[in-house]
Amino acid sequence: VLPSLREKHDEFMLREQVKRWANHKVMVKWLSRFFHYLDRYFIARRSLPPLNEVGLTCFRDLVYQELNGKVRDAVISLIDQEREGEQIDRALLKNVLDIFVEIGMGQMDYYENDFEAAMLKDIAAYYSRKGRYPMRTLYQALAVASMCIQEQAAALPLIGDVVTALSYLANQAYEPNGHGHRGSGDRD
């Protein structure tokens, strides 16, 4: 798995990782079924982690830990491309982000720590370069990010939708006297 991922870059690496992760999950599922007796009796009596969990942990420790920085950077690069108006494969993006959640075995820790923090830094850097990131928009962006992490892992919005929402918020007219978008009646 690692050699095939190491030799690929950017979107090609992401596609390969999604494929390898799907294959790994299928293998773990079938091996868990094959060794069901072992899992149910021997492992349970010894208070060891289930084979399914061990299989996911192996992928996390051997593959994910080594490549998560490259994967994160490639995902952020795709998001930047979409932000600049290019077409990207949103399904690929969602599948890669699902890996961050699945690696955490249903917990959001890996998604939050390994991806979301870097994405928020990239968003802030992008809009500071553009010179149009008022504090009101920052707070709205954080509210959108907060909504994303409050949802069930299976119901996470597509990152492209989050980027679209953030782009919309950044393009809203900002009046420093405390009023937001004209006609909205919203207060900052």
116-161 pLDDT per residue, tens:
888 888 888 877 777 655 555 666 666 666 666 655 555 566 666 6
Query: What does the chain come to in residues?
Result: 188
- How would DSSP label each residue in 6-65? HT--HHHHHHHHHHHHHHHHHHHHHHHHHTHHIIIIIIHHTTPPPHHHHHHHHHIIIIIH
Domain parsing of the chain, residue ranges: 2-171
Helix, strand, coil share (%) of the chain residues, nearest 5: 75, 0, 25
The predicted structure's pLDDT at residue 188:
42
Q: Rounded CA gap, 138 and 181, in Å?
A: 15
Q: What is the mean pLDDT of the chain?
A: 74
Q: Which residues pair with 187 in a beta bridge?
A: 179
Which residues contact residue 54 at a Cβ distance below 8 angstroms, ignoring those fewer than 6 apart?
none
Query: Which three-class secondary structure state does DSSP give residue 187?
Result: strand
Q: What is the pLDDT of residues 25-51, one digit of tens each?
A: 898 888 888 877 777 777 778 888 777
Average pLDDT over residues 149-174: 64
Whether this prediction's pTM lies above 0.85 is answered by: no
Do the Cβ atoms of 114 and 72 come closer than 8 Å?
yes
